[in-house]
Amino acid sequence: MFSQRFLIRSMQLVGATSGFIQRPFMNRAIIQGLISGLLASGMLLGLLTYAYYQINELYLLRDETKLIILAGLLVLLGMIIGYISSYRAVRKYMRLSLDELY
């Protein structure tokens, strides 16, 4: 986001609305959050599979519905965190004056 601060300023100077400036950054943040949530879910499921392989008695505690809910929440949380952080960063750079950008 820091490297895009002059692009944001240029878009403001040509009259772009704040929604038009924020939209590409928000879309990218949501996609990156989705990917990170999927990676986190995959790594967690891989770790659980390895744990089940090493300790056979863990199969007794396995609950598929809770694992699916957890994976979904990880994906959703990744998207929400990406959206909020990107929103705050874009708003920060939109509010700065030209002298503060340097």
By residue range, what is the domain housing residue 94? 35-102
Domain-located, residue 24? no
φ, ψ at 66 (rounded to 5°): -70, -35
Domain-located, residue 28? no
Q: What is the pLDDT of residues 48-82, one digit of tens each?
A: 999 989 988 888 888 889 999 999 999 999 999 99
Cβ-based neighbours of 86, under 8 Å, separated by 6 or more: 1, 25, 26, 28, 29
CA 21 to chain centre: 18
Domain-located, residue 20? no
The whole model's pTM is what? Answer: 0.80
Q: What is the pLDDT of residues 83-98, one digit of tens each?
A: 999 999 888 888 877 6
Which class for 17: exposed (0-12), middle (13-18), buried (19 or more C-beta within 10 A)? exposed
* Range 17-23 average pLDDT: 87
Domain-located, residue 30? no
The count of domains in the chain is: 1
Domain-located, residue 9? no
Domain-located, residue 15? no
Supply the pLDDT for residue 97: 76
Higher pLDDT, 72 or 17: 72
Domain-located, residue 66? yes
Domain-located, residue 4? no
